[in-house]
Amino acid sequence: MAVAEELRPTSDALLKSKAQRRPANLGQFVRWGLLFAGGILMVMPIAYMISTSLKWPHEIYNLKLIPDEPTIENYTYVLEDGRFFWWFVNSLVIATVTTVSNVLFDSLVGYTLCKFRFPGRYIVFIAILSTLMIPTEMLVIPWYLMSQQFGWLDTYWGIMFPGLMTAFGTFLMKQFFETVPDDFIEAARIDGLNELQIWWTVAMPLVKPALAALAIFVFLGNWTAFIWPLIVTNSVEMYTLPVGLSSFGDEADVAWELIMTGAAISTLPTLVVFLIFQRFIIRGVVMAGLKG
């Protein structure tokens, strides 16, 4: 009989109550202080990025944190550009769809590679892992030829298709499914659930932290993708945000203050996605009293 596995209750309320039970000691304080200092160091470069976005072009090379003549001119310039709205929407659609696709398919494949025994299992795993080993720069040409042949150029599908499933996500999910005890799966099988139901209702909830992490990374990766969207799009309205923002520079000159502004603006949606999903990482799973 399996022990009642009480997985860590990690909702914030419980955390707070735990904190109240333990008096704060010096060690905790020092730890917090160091982490905070470290955190500030981590975001220094970003502070400079934002500061540059608030500067006039002639000031951007003096690396002062507070500009002598702050201005929001760069922001108005970028945001008033009518195309900006489309770039934003395109990126949002593509990042969202690929995230959903990855969360579904990568976990399905990861789960299968982890919990099923079948001939060819290791080979499939290594084969999928090996797709990480070819730089995408080399795949861009064949993808383009393919898109051109099937009429996917300049379409959402054309931009999205290479990223719908990734070896990264599959590998991540496989590792996390390893932490799901086989007993649970067996128990569900005995209870008469079919494999698909087991995956969806039993295994998936147990790896929510990993799914949340996966969602964040896939969203981020697709939000910032540049080379492939650049190549597959033709019309300005189809550009994704990174591609559109890069048009603020040409062969002779790059308007760094505008690039910084664009970067600052692009960070906002990813920040939102992060803030939404990170709670799942810490919340984990509360599964009280599951008996075997």
Partner 1 sequence: MRLYRDLTIRQKQIVWAWAFLAIPIVFYTVIRFYPTGNAILISFQDWNLLGARTWTGLDNYTTLVSDPVFWQVFRNTFVYLLLGTPVSLVISFVIAYHLDKTRFMHGFLRMLYFLPFMTSAVAMAWVWRWFYQPVPIGLFNNALASVGIPQISFLNSTTNALPAILAPAVWAGLGFQIIIFMAGLRAIPRSYYEAARIDGVSTWAVLWEITLPLLKPTIVFIVVFSSIGFLRIFDHVFNMTTNNPGGPLNSTKPLVLMIYQTAFSSFDMGYAAAQTVVLFLVLLAVSLLQLRILRDR
Partner 2 sequence: MGFSRLKALALASATSAAALLGSAANAVEIEYWQYFFDARVSAMEQLIENFEAANPDITVKMTHFPYADYRTKVAAAIPAGEGPDVVQLFYGWLNDYVAADLIQPLPEDVFPADKIDAEFFPMVQAMKEGDQYWALPTAVRSLALFYNERLMEEAGITEPPETLDELIAAAKAMTKVDAAGNVTQVGVTAGMTAQDHHWWREVLVRQFGGEPYLDDYKTVNYNTDAGVEALEFYVGMTEGDTPASAFGFMDEPQAAFKAGRAGMHIDGSFRIGSLADTRGLKWGVAELPANADGMRSNYSSYWVNAITTKAEGEKYDAAVKFMEYIVSDEAMQIWLDVVGELPAKPSVGLTDANANDPVFGPFIKGLAYANTTKFADESGQRQAMVEMVERMTLQGMSAAESLAIAAETEQKLLDDYYATN
DSSP code of 10?
-
Q: How far is the CB of 244 from partner 2 (least distance, A)?
A: 8
SS3 category, 119:
coil
If one asks whether residue 144 binds partner 2 (CB under 8 A), the answer comes out as: yes
Nearer to partner 2, 206 or 238 (CB): 238
Q: How far is the CB of 45 from partner 1 (least distance, A)?
A: 5
Find the helix or strand (DSSP H, E) in which 213 lies: helix 208-223
Nearer to partner 1, 72 or 127 (CB): 127
- The Cα–Cα gap between 38 and 116 comes to 43
Q: How far is the CB of 16 from partner 1 (least distance, A)?
A: 7
Amino acid identity, residue 155? T
**Size of interface with partner 1, in residues (CB under 8 A):** 100
* Widest CA span in the chain: 73
Which tokens is 114 given?
């982890």
Question: Which of 250, 288, 289, 291 touches partner 2 by CB under 8 A?
Answer: 250
Please choose, from the candidates 90, 63, 43, 84, the residue with its C-alpha nearest in 3D space to the C-alpha of residue 262.
Answer: 84
Nearer to partner 1, 31 or 83 (CB): 31
Nearer to partner 2, 8 or 64 (CB): 64
Q: How far is the CB of 138 from partner 1 (least distance, A)?
A: 5
Which tokens is 62 given?
């003096």
The stretch among 58-66, 67-75, 77-85, 86-94 that binds partner 1 (CB under 8 A) is: 58-66
Question: Which of 34, 65, 145, 272 touches partner 2 by CB under 8 A?
Answer: 145
Q: How far is the CB of 235 from partner 1 (least distance, A)?
A: 23
If one asks whether residue 124 binds partner 1 (CB under 8 A), the answer comes out as: yes
4 Cβ partners below 8 Å, 6+ apart? 289, 290, 291
In terms of C-beta density within 10 A (0-12 exposed, 13-18 middle, 19 or more buried), how is residue 246 classed? Answer: middle
The stretch among 76-84, 89-97, 206-214, 232-240 that binds partner 1 (CB under 8 A) is: 206-214
Count the alpha carbons within 13 Å of 121 in the hemisphere toward its beta carbon: 11
If one asks whether residue 230 binds partner 1 (CB under 8 A), the answer comes out as: no
Which tokens is 117 given?
């025994």
Q: How many residues are listed for the chain in this entry? A: 292
Give the footprint of partner 2 on this chain (CB under 8 A): 56-58, 61-62, 140-141, 144-145, 148-149, 153, 227, 230-231, 233-236, 239, 243-244, 246-247, 249-253, 255
